[in-house]
Amino acid sequence: MCDDWPTCVGNTVAVGQQEHAFATFVYGAGTDLTGVATEYELNCAKSTSAGQGAEIIYWGIEVPALTPPGTYQGQNTIDAVKGETVDW
């Protein structure tokens, strides 16, 4: 995240300050975000009605104490892929 996104030549908050997990968590106990694509098997149940299958991914961020104040922006990309039908 940075205060001049998308160029990010100004103040930044490192990618590793973001964490994620599949259940609620206390910051420090989640999985650190990295700049490398990572696959996670969510195995959402196939929808049998008008709704969509869904799973929750929880996110946390720690802004370091000496980070200058400002509005910080960034982008996380999440792609979904149809899984094996045995998991439906």
Over pLDDT 70: what percentage of the chain? 95
14 — alpha (psi -120 to 50), left (phi > 0) or beta?
A: beta
User: pLDDT tens for residues 44-75?
Assistant: 777 777 767 778 889 999 999 999 999 999 99
> Can you give the pTM of this predicted structure?
0.75
Residue 73 sits at φ, ψ, to 5 deg, of: -130, 160
User: pLDDT tens for residues 31-43?
Assistant: 999 988 888 888 7
